[in-house]
Amino acid sequence: MITKHHFGVLDGGTDVYTYTMKNANGMTVRICEFGGAIMEIRVPDRWGRMSDVVGGYDSLRDYVLAGGYLGALVGRTCNRITEGKYSIGDKAYSVYCNDGKNSLHGGKVGYSHRIWNVKPVDGDEPKLILTLDSPDGEEGYPGNLKVTVTYALLSSNALSIRYEAETDATTIVNMTNHAYFNLGGYASGKIFDHVMQMDADRYLPTDQGLMPTGEQRSVTGTPFDFREPKTIGVDFDMENEDIKTAGGFDHCFCFTGGETKEPVMRVQVYEPNSGRMMQVYTNQPCIQFYSGNFLDDPEHPLKGGYPQNKQSLFCVETQKMPDAKKNDGFDNIILNPGEKYDYTTVYQFSVKN
């Protein structure tokens, strides 16, 4: 089942709507046209009680003005590009820098702040097909890029997100979704007791500006080793320069073996109080794990007026390596005419007794 609701009006007079998908189990997912944002995911705990497990806002104005990209689709390239500069062949490009001297999550008006066209497809497993035309030169990126993102609510209590894109000129593409999770409920407090396991054998160290240094470092012997289950908080205060610089986790983790043809389970997170489990399936090679270190904006409280609090939500953003064009041995983020960008991420929810 899909229902459509009016959410607000932008300053230019454009009406903005949200779409709520519901499956036979009662799980609901709410998506906004603005930014294609995941506003709400309601799933049961071990006693069958439904809670909203993603952070978001009550008003359109907060989605427009607040930082943090809560729930949004981000592109044309997610994450950071050093000084907004890169080259394709012998041609240099400069994209908009909106994060100090660097570019972040697509630039000044990235996909997170665009109105997406939404086509609802109702049924037992409802879908929302979102499309966007990203013109040549937008934010400094070359090529007209046609983007399709399909949200599907599966009968197994999973949310599938398929990202597709095609271009008429060689460009770079690296998209993701920036949902913030707390499996105890978005207003349930710190995330430190969540138990995480991640099939990643390397991570990317960063400099003081949180830009990758170019090194791919083994997780062995570091706080970044989640190959065996452990709580997010257990190594949070370990003496480690990368943790100290970022104020927590805000790093790209590289999956063992890299990209796969079909989505495979790479990350699982368990919240012991509620019993909720989230497993992340993807064919992307990496994930940006962010522990909500900058959630401290008092002017933009979360839904229900709940204040933003550091480390109260976490992100697991599937993607390719950030700043990939600057570093030898990093992932290929080039998209040529005639090729198709096509990746899928599935967030599978369940309970563990």
What's the rounded Cα separation, in Å, for the pair 323 and 328?
10
How far is C-alpha 5 from the geometric centre of its chain's CA atoms?
A: 24
Tell me the HSE value of 351 on the side-chain side, using a 13 A CA sphere: 14
CA distances from 262 to 16, 72, 156, 197 (A): 34, 24, 18, 20
Tell me, yes or no, if 139 is annotated catalytic: no
Strand partners, 349: 278
Burial class (CB in 10 A: 0-12, 13-18, 19+), 159: buried
Which helix (H) or strand (E) covers residue 276, if one does? Answer: strand 276-282
What's the rounded Cα separation, in Å, for the pair 203 and 252?
6
What's the rounded Cα separation, in Å, for the pair 55 and 219?
29
Name the catalytic one among 40, 105, 178, 271: 178
Tell me, yes or no, if 317 is annotated catalytic: yes
Reference 113, options 144, 81, 74; nearest CA is: 74
Name the catalytic one among 33, 138, 166, 317: 317
Look up residue 43 and give its DSSP letter: E
CA distances from 120 to 21, 114, 127, 128, 148 (A): 9, 18, 6, 5, 13
Residue with tokens 């097909």: 129
Angle subtended at Cα 70 by Cα 238 and Cα 14, rounded to the nearest 5 degrees = 165
Return phi, psi of residue 151, to 5°.
-95, 125
Six-digit token pair at 341? 């960008």
What's the rounded Cα separation, in Å, for the pair 61 and 73?
17
How far is C-alpha 263 from the geometric centre of its chain's CA atoms?
A: 16
Q: Is 26 helix (H, G, I), strand (E, B) or coil?
A: coil
What's the rounded Cα separation, in Å, for the pair 45 and 30?
19
Residues belonging to the active site: 178, 317
